[in-house]
Each structure stands twice: as C-alpha cells, then as structure tokens.
C-alpha cells in the first residue's frame, strides 16, 4: 500500500474526497444562489469530462517520459484504445443510463422521497462488492451499512425540505465518477404540476434501477482498476473518452433547445468554473479511492461530506438544523464507527475424531512403534471430537 508521510494513501484519499465533496456542495450552493443566472448542467457534465481527459492525458505523457525517457504518440494511442480498453465502455454506458433514470425519478417523485430512496445505492454497492469482488462482509458491517443508508437518507430529507421551504427547486442528480454531483445539476425552476408528472410507481422503479446500476458500475470500475495493469491515469482517459458521446447526447436531449438559443456556456461565471474544476478533481480522487480503498468506503466518505456541508450551510446560508438532521447525523457517525471496527476472527473447527481414526488405520498397516510388543498407542481417555481454533 503506497504511503504519504507514513500514512497509507487509502486513508488520505478518503479524507481528501470528503473535503472535496464538501467544498463542491458549498461552491454549488453559492453558484446557484438567488438572483444568479441559470447554466445548463448537461454542458457542465461534458466540460467536466473534457477537463479530466486533458489532465489525465498530460499526467500519462509525463509519467511515460519519466519512466522511459521518450514518448511515442502511436504507443500512447495503442495503450488507450487497444487491449482491454473496451471494458471501460461498460461503466460509461451504465453511468449514462443511470443518469437518465435519475432524471426521470427526480421529476416523478417529491424531493424527500427521491433523496431517501436513492440512498439504496449504498447497499447495492455493498452487494455487488460481495458478488463481483468476493468481498466478505460480516453481519456488523451490513448493519452499519443499513444505518448509514438510513442516516444519510434522514439528512438528505431534511436538507431537501429546507430547500423547498426556501423556494429552491428539486435537484437533478447527475452523480457518478463520470458526471457532476446532484447539486451541480440543480436548477432554479418551478416544479411541474403534480398531474403532469409521471406515475410515482414509474419514479420508484426508475430510482431502484438507478441504484442498481450505480452499484454495478462503481464496483465494475473498481474491479478493472485493481485487476488490470493500466495506471489510474490511463483508466480515467478511457472512461472519460467513452463517456463523452453519452454526455454530448445528454446535452442534445436534455438542454438542446436552450443551448441552441442561448449558447453552450450560457450562465457560466467563475463560480461555475470553480465547481467544474472541483468536480473534475473529485473524479480523479474517486479513482484513487477505488484503487486503494473500495466503493463502500467511498460511500462513507461521501456521506460524511454531506453532513459536513449541511453543517457549514448553517453559517453560510442560514439553514436550520432540526431533530431529523441530528438523528441522521448520529446514525451516520455511528455507522462509520461500526464499520471501522475490526472483524472478529473466524472460528474454524477441526474434526479430531476422523483424524484419529485415520491415524489408527495407518498405525495398523505400519505397526506400532514397538511392533510385536504390547506397547501400542492407546487412545486418549477423553477424546475431543471437535476443537475450536481461531485464525
């Protein structure tokens, strides 16, 4: 495990991710304050992928020159598009479908219902970690994940209710390593009348499938990073490259008319640019977390960042903290502590009875130590059929 100053990179990346997410949420709240121009979130998602692609390309070229003292563009292109590069198209496609389903769900459900149900992605991530990565999760860790899901759901529910009471709109949650966070896609607009929204059942089905795809895509990306030889920078180049067509398609389908009329960069200013830069950095941090930690710990770091940003909003935006928020925060902190507890050693049982029978059979074939005498090996006066041993 790589270290920085003697501290494992695993823990450093988790702390940095929590700080980065907190900063992003605060910057986006400032960027979308009352009286500010509305920008198109789909264009921000596309620019985010472009920035990550450029940064990762520069870092890959730099590492190649440092390692070999030379750089050949043809070899670079072969590394990016050859071999198992196609594997990154799978999570890119899954994230694209997930984002569209989130968009459907956020319009079909009220904000509180959406916020709570979408936290099921924490449990689906854990489930796919067990299925695809053979990760062992004891009962205590499953209990902590359920607590985390409930806690962050309560925090999100109160935050959503607080935004609604201030006349803010529901958020469009384009949240994934290849898309901007939910707050980045939030729009200041009047919600559609209830009778114009899709059926609630459709919304619940959409958010459920989105949670499944979120867990599957994240764990699949983790498996690629940990089980293949490509560097983090190279894998992010491939992921961003395959995400670009889906992002561009989203611009056309979601905001095509507005972009045509007002321009691709309508509403952009320094705060929006800062948010895009922050989210681009977050995408790279997520790759480090997934490489050296895992998606489950990433979920904990992201959940803690939501709590931190909500507390910061009290001082910055005059938000109020209620009993529901306090209960949710307590559950998040308690779940984090429970998950960090060391696993109990597994108890194995050794069947001494069958081993003794085998030993006697071998003794009968080979003879006792003093063959021909009466000095034979006798069985113990008390035979333990099973003995517990800890590993």
Q: What is the pLDDT of residue 177?
A: 37
The closest of 271, 292, 274 to 282, measured between CA atoms, is 274
Band (360; pLDDT cuts 50, 70, 90): low
Q: What is the DSSP string of 243-303?
A: HHHHHHHHHHHHHHHHHHHH-TTTT--HHHHHHHHHHHHHHHHHHHHHHHS-HHHHHHHHH
Q: Say yes or no to pLDDT of 44 above 90.
A: no
User: Residue 139 has which token pair?
Assistant: 């009962």
Most confident of 95-109, 143-157, 374-388: 143-157
Question: How many Å separate Cα 363 from the centre of its chain?
Answer: 58
**Percent of the chain whose predicted confidence (pLDDT) is above 90:** 11
Tokens 């607009």 appear where?
A: 189
Band (262; pLDDT cuts 50, 70, 90): very high
pTM given for the model: 0.69
Q: Which of 64-73, 149-158, 262-271 has the lowest mean pLDDT?
A: 149-158
Is there a contact between 283 and 20 (Cβ–Cβ < 8 Å)?
no
Dihedral, CA of residue 167, residue 168, residue 170 and residue 172, to nearest 10: 160
Q: What is the pLDDT of residue 324?
A: 83
Band (359; pLDDT cuts 50, 70, 90): low
Higher model confidence: residue 89 or residue 354?
A: 89
**What are the angstrom distances between the C-alpha of 305 and each of 8, 59, 66?**
20, 28, 36
Q: Which of 235-244, 289-298, 363-372 has the lowest mean pLDDT?
A: 363-372
């Amino acid at each position: 495990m790589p270290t920085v100053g003697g501290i494992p990179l695993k823990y450093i990346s988790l702390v940095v991710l929590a700080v980065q997410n907190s900063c992003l949420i605060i910057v986006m709240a400032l960027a979308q304050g009352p009286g500010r121009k509305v920008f198109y979130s789909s264009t921000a998602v596309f620019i985010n992928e472009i920035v990550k692609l450029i940064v990762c390309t520069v870092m890959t070229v730099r590492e190649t020159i440092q390692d070999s003292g030379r750089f050949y563009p043809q070899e670079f292109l072969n590394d990016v598009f050859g071999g198992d590069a196609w594997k990154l198209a799978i999570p890119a496609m899954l994230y694209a479908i997930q984002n569209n389903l989130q968009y459907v769900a956020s319009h079909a459900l009220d904000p509180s219902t959406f916020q709570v149900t979408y936290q099921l992605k924490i449990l689906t991530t854990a489930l796919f970690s067990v299925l695809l990565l053979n990760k062992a999760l004891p009962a205590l860790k499953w209990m902590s994940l359920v607590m985390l899901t409930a806690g962050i759901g309560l925090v999100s529910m109160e935050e959503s209710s607080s935004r609604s009471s201030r006349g803010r709109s529901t958020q469009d949650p384009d949240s994934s390593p290849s898309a901007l966070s939910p707050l980045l896609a939030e729009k200041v607009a009047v919600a559609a009348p209830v009778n114009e929204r899709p059926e609630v059942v459709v919304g619940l089905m959409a958010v459920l499938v989105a949670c499944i795809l979120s867990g599957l895509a994240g764990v699949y990306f983790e498996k690629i990073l940990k089980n293949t030889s490509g560097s983090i920078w190279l894998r992010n180049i491939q992921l961003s490259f395959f995400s670009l067509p889906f992002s561009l398609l989203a611009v056309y389908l979601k905001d095509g008319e507005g972009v045509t009329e007002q321009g691709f960069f309508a509403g952009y200013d320094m705060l929006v640019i800062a948010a895009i830069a922050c989210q681009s950095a977050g995408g790279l941090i997520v790759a480090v977390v997934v490489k050296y930690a895992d998606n489950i710990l990433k979920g904990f770091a992201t959940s803690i960042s939501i709590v931190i940003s909500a507390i910061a909003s009290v001082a910055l935006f005059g938000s109020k903290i209620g009993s529901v928020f306090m209960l949710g925060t307590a559950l998040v902190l308690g779940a984090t502590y429970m998950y960090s507890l060391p696993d109990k050693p597994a108890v194995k049982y050794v069947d001494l009875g069958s081993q003794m029978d085998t030993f006697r059979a071998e003794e009968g074939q080979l003879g006792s130590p003093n063959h021909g005498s009466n000095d034979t090996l006798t069985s113990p006066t008390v035979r333990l059929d099973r003995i517990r041993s800890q590993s």
